[in-house]
Amino acid sequence: MSRGIRLMIVDDLKFIRQGTIALLKSETSDIEVVGEAESGEDAVRLARECQPDVVLMDLQMPGMGGMEATRKLIRINPEMKILALTVCQSDIFPTRLLEEGASGYITKDCDIKEVVRAIREVFAGKRYISPSIAQNLALRRYAGKDATPFDSLSERELQVMIMITKGEKPQLIADTLHLSPKTVNTYRYRLFEKLGVKSDVELTLLALRQGIVDGG
């Protein structure tokens, strides 16, 4: 009998971690959750101890983001499979993540059967991308779309941008990302310069038009 899949779940929301664990237990017996982490920093520390086969990784977390954590985890163990579970559906995010060495990308609106299928696929050495995301990527290549202004943003700039579009205040952004308010404002004005906008409203409208954030 082959051994089960050792899974680590990384998400800053405890109810997401616990809910995922409960659903996995109800759906399958071949996936064992060997660790939970609430940040990228915790994930890097815990991965050395629990040696997961697959990491279910949230992208947007306080402190170290999911992309940086992915880079570090793959350096620790190149055989470790990283599967992103996130609300971000823009093709910028999966493209960058896959370039960093991740094995898959699924969205938080998928059902538990797809989560299980994705975990098993990446454990088997395959790539898994949610059908809606895969379609966006394929259509972009087929249509020969040019790079968007957002392609030039760093991971931290993307994090700050997404929080701004949600209406978060600079102090909350600073506290969440472990930055100073002055640094947040520096990122904000850098975003304005790179994207050619003059206000948070213009930034939000541009992000909506490009599909970087949704209006829900």
**Domains with residue ranges and CATH for the chain:** 5-141 (3.40.50.2300), 149-210 (1.10.10.10)
pLDDT, residue 24, reads 94
Handedness of CA 167, 169, 170, 174 (dihedral sign): negative
SS3 72: helix
For the stretch 101-126, pLDDT in tens is: 899 988 888 889 999 999 999 999 99
Q: How far apart are CA 15 and CA 169, in angstroms?
A: 25
CA distances in angstroms from 22 to 3, 9, 18, 19, 92, listed in the order given: 20, 12, 6, 5, 31
Q: Write down the pLDDT at residue 1.
A: 44
Tally the residues of the chain. 216
Closest CA to 161 of 146, 173, 172: 173
- How high is the pLDDT of residue 67? 82
What are 122's two structure tokens?
């990446």
Q: What is the pLDDT of residue 86?
A: 76
Q: How far apart are CA 26 and CA 22, in angstroms?
A: 6
In this prediction, residue 143 carries a pLDDT of 47
If you search the block for the tokens 């089960």, which residue do you land on? 4
Non-local CB neighbours of 70 within 8 Å, separated by 6+ positions = 57, 82, 84, 97, 100, 101, 102
Task: Name residues of the chain where pLDDT drops below 70.
Answer: 1-2, 88-92, 132, 134-148, 211-216
